[in-house]
Structure 1
Amino acid sequence: MSRIVLSALSAPGRASAVRLTPHFLLGAAFVVAGTVLRLRCYRVLGKHFTYRLTLWDGHKLVKRGPYAYVRHPGYSAVLCLDVGSTLVVFGPGSLFREEQWLGSPWGRAFLWVWGLCRGAEVVYVFYRPVLEDRLLKERFGTEWVMWARKTRYRLLPFVY
């Protein structure tokens, strides 16, 4: 079995064509920006950060740091990471592209899984903030309304 996998992965390609490209550098910049933004969100939220949609007793509405620009910057960071990693993994000059792995059955399967995972993540990233906004508005009322007026965008400044 391992010989089959190795032979599929080492199909003749152009390994010498693997190189740094503008696509790779842009993707890497998106990955770094997404990572820094996500870490900043964790730090600013502190004890209020949770993966579950919940509010604690004594919960405060966080309006500083990246939350002063968009209401859900942690999800903006996920979008940056998705775009960046896709450019790095599949862009011109990448190992996947230059070794022509995408033309192999394993490569196509990987591409499908990657696409399904990123697609599900994008749906989640656009859906979850709507739920969070409802919960926050219900809990904080006028304070949330005033903040939402000032911080109009959920994920992307001047877009959404």
Structure 2
Amino acid sequence: MQRWYSTLQTRPRGNRRAAGRQNVLIISSSSYHGTTWGINLAMTSPNPPPPPNERVERVGVENKYLPWFTTWVPAIGKKTFWVLALCESATILGIIQSPSKPFITPISVITSFMTVAGALIRRSCYHHLSTLFTFDLAIRPDHRLVTSGPYALVRHPSYVGAILSGVGAVMFTLGSRGSWFMECSGMVPISLKSSFGPGLEESYTLFPQSNRYFTSFFVLGTLVGVMALIILVPRMTKEDEMMKQKFGKEWEEWRARVRWRIVPGIY
């Protein structure tokens, strides 16, 4: 142990800097590819849209203002995140061949994990519902009540995954220092950048003393989350009504066991 420590201490500073730079590039690339994979999985339906005779009428905001929500939003969203991922990849490749110093913030890593976690929740829902999972509300001819897997914990786990992935991906790409959009796109004013944390030339800690950094993260994350809930809460209510009407006592017994819609103990 002493020999290893001595070797580390006497390693040339340039080599240590190069190793640290390489580690940052690896973490940055992994985070971005993980986020892109996660949001694409979360926004890709595992099954084709149901035929019109099986669909249930849209409700709430989705019915009045966003009838294209389940088709256009995933299509445009996935393409947008792929473009951002290509820009980020090109930037990382450029940094490898230049003396520029890359950096990634703890918020970037946390929001990347959020996106991947949400995608894995969605994937589990896809698996357990199988052909019953569609982005449009529908009653299939072979419909059955699924109460296993994540559906044994909450009644609408796929929406938990959607919110986690959506908030995480938006925060990662649009609200994290070090991302291509924040640092290189030219679309974010310097004054707005500073409200999301220090840049490369400033010291960055996970818990900065200035509360304005966390205020900015909180506002952006809350805005995305609230927009999602405005659409998803009416869908959850409609789904509960559909399932109650379709399965009756079986659904009532499941609801008695699984009281919570998306967050155990809260909602």
User: Per residue, is there more helix in 1 or in 2?
Assistant: 1
Could you state the TM-score of these two structures normalised by the residue count of structure 2? 0.46
Q: Which residue of 2 aligns with 1:93?
A: 178
Deviation at 1:19, TM superposition (A): 2.2
Distance in 2, matches of 1:17 and 1:158, equals 45
Equivalent of 2:263 in 134, 147, 156 = 156
Tell me the amino acid that sits aligned with residue 149 of structure 2: G
Q: Does 1:22 align with 2:102?
A: no
Tell me the amino acid that sits aligned with residue 150 of structure 1: R
SS at match of 2:144: coil
Distance in 1, matches of 2:127 and 2:227, equals 26
Tell me the amino acid that sits aligned with residue 121 of structure 1: A
For the pair shown, which has the larger CA radius of gyration, 1 or 2? 2
Q: Does 1:69 align with 2:167?
A: no
Tell me the amino acid that sits aligned with residue 130 of structure 1: T
Q: Which residue of 2 aligns with 1:11?
A: none
Deviation at 1:33, TM superposition (A): 0.5
> Structure 1 stretch 94-103 or stretch 122-131: which is displaced more?
94-103
Structure 1 stretches (4+) deviating beyond 4 angstroms?
Answer: 15-18, 115-120
- 1:127-158 Cα offsets, whole Å, 9 max, x none, are 21110001001111111111111111111222
The answer (yes or no) to whether the contact 1:70–1:151 under 8 Å persists in 2 is yes
Distance in 1, matches of 2:172 and 2:120, equals 17
Could you state the TM-score of these two structures normalised by the residue count of structure 1? 0.74
Q: Which residue of 1 aligns with 2:162?
A: 78
SS at match of 1:102: coil
Distance in 2, matches of 1:117 and 1:27, equals 13
Q: State the superposition RMSD in angstroms.
A: 2.7
Q: Which residue of 2 aligns with 1:46?
A: 130
Tell me the amino acid that sits aligned with residue 33 of structure 1: A
Q: Which residue of 1 aligns with 2:39?
A: none
Distance in 2, matches of 1:49 and 1:59, equals 10
Q: Does 1:102 align with 2:194?
A: no
User: How many residues are matched?
Assistant: 137
Unpaired stretches in structure 2, ≥5 consecutive residues: 1-94, 191-221
Tell me the amino acid that sits aligned with residue 56 of structure 1: R
Q: Which residue of 2 aligns with 1:57?
A: 141
Distance in 1, matches of 2:238 and 2:255, equals 14
Q: Which residue of 1 aligns with 2:207?
A: none
> Structure 1 stretch 80-89 or stretch 120-129: which is displaced more?
120-129
Tell me the amino acid that sits aligned with residue 228 of structure 2: E
Q: Which residue of 2 aligns with 1:138?
A: 245
Distance in 1, matches of 2:146 and 2:140, equals 13
